Copies of this chain bind each other. A is one copy, B any other.
Amino acid sequence: MLAEIITIGDELLIGQVIDTNSAWIADQLNANGIKVHQITSVSDNREHILTSLKEAAQRASIILITGGLGPTKDDITKQTLCEYFNTQLVFNQDAYDNISRLFFSRGYPVTELNRLQAMVPEACEVLNNINGTAPGMWFQKDGISYVSMPGVPFEMKEMVSRHVLPRLMGQSRNHILHRTILTEGVGESFLAAKIETWEDNLPECIKLAYLPQPGIVRLRLTASGEDKSYLEKALTDAEISLLPLASEYIFGHDDETLQSIIGELLLKKHATLATAESCTGGNIAQMITSIPGSSAYFKGGIVAYSNEIKVNLLGVREGTLMNHGAVSSETVIEMAAGARKNLKTDFAIAVSGVAGPDGGTPEKPVGTVWIAIATPDTITSTKFLFGDHRGRNIQRASLSALSLLRKALL
């Protein structure tokens, strides 16, 4: 059973919006054993939408469509679906009640434009949209399921989880299982050379992919077949045989992140954490607090963007800044010690660097970053040299800091 995803919207084709819906839907379908064959993004254009529907129907039996259902004039998906399914728009009371409910809860009257959103193609089954005004639509034709959903991720996700997946599940007999092994501190090709023999000996049913990100390489194992318990065992065996080759680089699995793993390690130790950030500007604190429940171990942090704050709130000595500069081993060590002391925690991370584009010098070019980790026993500092790109430097410095903390916690 193959699926295709069609995302509709001029904003996708001019690059104003990144299509995050497709990845989310694909992930959900895969987890339920439905393979996605192709993702296609097309414009808010009648002919283009019709062509893409016809083409997808030749390849797949499930076609999930997002976008183009807004109340405004540029959204033409609904009319185009009427044409495709040779049907017409009719008023739907349930959809209208849902729109009224949403407007009432926000304290607004229903506009004429939103009333029109309750008009739906006669041939479809309406899927209620509890988070928005555009109803979803399910069409069934020639053995193919077509589902049209709003493009707003928040609305679409709820609709997929509550209506689409439960209905599609059970229709498929094939299982697709994934296990992703997360590594850091090793380049893609170096890792590939190290595990080549292992890769060559993987069973037929398992496929391997290397997914590099800044500072991280993810190894994704995909097992496909009808016998689920056989696939599970094959994945486990594959992972066990990988360990002797790469255990020093492996830090987690699947959807784990450095920040989620650190959270678990801190919880297990009943230990607390503070951050002192200069060039990363709060990004590390933001990553740590993106984890639900992080308040159990993260007490807080200081974004010491100016030297004055490094001195006043973290207790960095003025002499240290004068003699060694803000981007130095000495400064980050004092920042980490100050964060640990002033925020009264067991562990602390401190980062100071030149994120760029300005501020580089011959001795400390853009991309130079010092990171210190304070534990109850020691403070250690490490120097990194990243690249020229501000956003990437902030990202890599944050990941490196979390990675150093993880090692200190083990």
Chain B residues near A389 (CB-CB < 8 A) = 154
Contact (Cβ within 8 A) A300 B295: no
Verify if A240 is at the interface (C-beta below 8 Å from B): no
- Choose among B18, B113, B178, B222 the residue that contacts A189 (Cβ–Cβ < 8 A): B113
Range of interface residues on A (Cβ < 8 Å): 35 or more
Chain B residues near A392 (CB-CB < 8 A) = 154
Chain B residues near A207 (CB-CB < 8 A) = 10, 74
- Choose among B17, B71, B222, B302 the residue that contacts A302 (Cβ–Cβ < 8 A): B302
- Of A78-86, A209-217, A263-271, the one touching chain B: A209-217
Verify if A303 is at the interface (C-beta below 8 Å from B): yes
Verify if A37 is at the interface (C-beta below 8 Å from B): yes
- Choose among B29, B111, B356 the residue that contacts A292 (Cβ–Cβ < 8 A): B356
Cα–Cα distance between A13 and B25 once the two chains are bound (Å):
9
Verify if A379 is at the interface (C-beta below 8 Å from B): no
Chain B residues near A306 (CB-CB < 8 A) = 295, 299-300
Query: Would you give the shortest CB distance from A211 to chain B, in whole angstroms?
Result: 5
Verify if A344 is at the interface (C-beta below 8 Å from B): yes
Closest to A200 in B: B73
Verify if A42 is at the interface (C-beta below 8 Å from B): yes
Query: Would you give the shortest CB distance from A311 to chain B, in whole angstroms?
Result: 11
Looking at A218, A222, A303, the one whose CB has the most chain B CB atoms below 10 A away is A303
Known: A189-B71, A303-B301. A12 touches B26 (CB 8 A): yes
Known: A275-B303, A284-B282, A303-B302. A14 touches B39 (CB 8 A): no
A-B contact pairs, 28 of them (CB 8 A): A9-B209, A11-B211, A12-B26, A12-B39, A15-B30, A16-B27, A16-B218, A38-B42, A44-B209, A73-B199, A74-B210, A108-B190, A111-B193, A113-B193, A152-B212, A277-B282, A281-B290, A282-B283, A283-B286, A285-B285, A290-B394, A292-B357, A292-B358, A300-B305, A302-B313, A303-B303, A312-B343, A313-B342
